Amino acid sequence: MRVSVDAAGNLRGIYSGESVSGERLLIGSHLDTVPNAGPYDGVLGVALGIALMEALDGQRFTYEIEIVGFSEESGQRFGVPFLGSRAWVGRIDETLLESKDSSDISLREAISQYGLDPSNLHDAVVTPDTFAFLEYHIERGPVLESLHKPLGVVEAIVGRSRFTVEFIGEPSNSGTTPMHLRRDALSGAAEWIGMVEQEAKSVNGLFATVEKVEVFPGATGVIPSNVTMSVDMRHPSDKTLNGTIARLLEKARHVAQKRRLRFDVHRNLDHQAVAMHPGLVHIAERALRLAGCPSSRLVSGYGHDAMIMAEKIPSALIFVRSPDGLSQHPGMQISPADVELAISSGLHFLKEITGFSRKTTVSAYA
């Protein structure tokens, strides 16, 4: 393979096609990981790409194949994730280049210190002849394990909203304030937290979590006057997610009104859901079946490089089972049999994608 490192620190290797068609399939994932997390997060997808090229044993296709190890996916240093894949879709701007790490070193300086030239970042941008991206990634969760399936095809990466909810009552004495005269913010919050869980269980595919609760004044003998909660909600459909959030906030207002509390909400983050390319989902499923692997479609509750790449090129994401469903855990393992199936499915994917028309993808993404 012809190996290079681009200006964003992405490690790239090109496996030539049988002729110079100019068309290129991209396969890869990220090389970095979260401190103290699993050894397979990201790098499994890069190693699988290289293993696939090895398994080809010299066989060539009409298109060339590029294997990529994306740099800085987890956003540990600059607080912004997906730096490597952002460079591919041309989303590293001046503001991002000026963002600083904890030692006050900017991203621009870090790239230079690594021996690369940040003014060459545009060279990393994906070219129109790249017709698809395939990412293998260890599942960061227990779904495949619970289904007893080694591999799964991701249909969509969930949309995500984070917001802060506050109930405001009045501090008063726990021993002297009769129940009907209280404005207990914590009791109101508790009632609403129950509703969040109920709603999450009743809407298919919804994840809703009250992650942090702060109670004031938090003193013995005092009825709580303020409760601040951070809430995380995710769903593969933005419409369902926004509808559910609106419904839950309405219920919160109702709880507050009934209990004579004030209620406040602050939206902190809104990420839209990203669908993987339906044509590639179909090909990936077929490749899994041909490899003798029962296919299973799933949704990713977490962002991956494929989510960024999907902005510019048709993308597919295949999860490999994480035994015991471990995620962000140093004890994360992988089954050699699952890896063998992943390689075998990848070989089928390379054959099946030959018919995937570049024309349709170019017009869809132009």
Q: How far is the CB of 349 from Zn ion (least distance, A)?
A: 20
Closest listed residue to residue 182, CA positions, set 216, 228, 215, 225? 225
Calculate the dihedral angle through the C-alpha atoms of 95, 28, 348, 341, rounding to the nearest 10 degrees: -130
Token pair of 312 as six digits: 């510019």
Tell me how many residues contact Zn ion (CB under 5 A): 2
| Site for Zn ion contains 32 (CB under 5 A) | no
Q: How far is the CB of 304 from Zn ion (least distance, A)?
A: 6
Q: Judged by CB, which is closer to Zn ion: 31, or 126?
A: 31
Q: How far is the CB of 270 from Zn ion (least distance, A)?
A: 22
Q: Judged by CB, which is closer to Zn ion: 73, or 352?
A: 73
Q: Judged by CB, which is closer to Zn ion: 42, or 188?
A: 42
User: Residues 33 to 52: which contact Zn ion by CB under 5 A?
Assistant: 41-42
Q: Print the SS3 string covering 137-186.
A: EECCCCHHHHHCCCEEEEEEECEEEEEEEEEECCCEECCCCCHHHCCCHH
Q: How far is the CB of 283 from Zn ion (least distance, A)?
A: 22
Q: How far is the CB of 70 from Zn ion (least distance, A)?
A: 9
Buried-state track 12-23, b at ≥16 Cβ within 10 A, e below 16: bbebebeeeeeb
Q: Judged by CB, which is closer to Zn ion: 40, or 61?
A: 40
Q: Judged by CB, which is closer to Zn ion: 140, or 183?
A: 140
Q: In the bound complex, which residue of the shown chain has the CB atom lying closest to Zn ion?
A: 42
* 164: β partners: 230, 266
Q: Judged by CB, which is closer to Zn ion: 85, or 225?
A: 85
What values do phi and psi take at 270, rounded to 5?
-140, 110
H helices of the chain, where? 43-55, 83-88, 94-98, 107-113, 143-147, 185-202, 238-258, 278-290, 305-309, 336-352, 358-365
Region of residue 300 (phi > 0: left; psi between -120 and 50: alpha; otherwise: beta): beta
Q: Judged by CB, which is closer to Zn ion: 41, or 72?
A: 41
| Site for Zn ion contains 305 (CB under 5 A) | no
| Site for Zn ion contains 81 (CB under 5 A) | no
Q: How far is the CB of 362 from Zn ion (least distance, A)?
A: 28
| Site for Zn ion contains 139 (CB under 5 A) | no
Q: How far is the CB of 144 from Zn ion (least distance, A)?
A: 15
For Zn ion, the binding residues (CB under 5 A) are 41-42
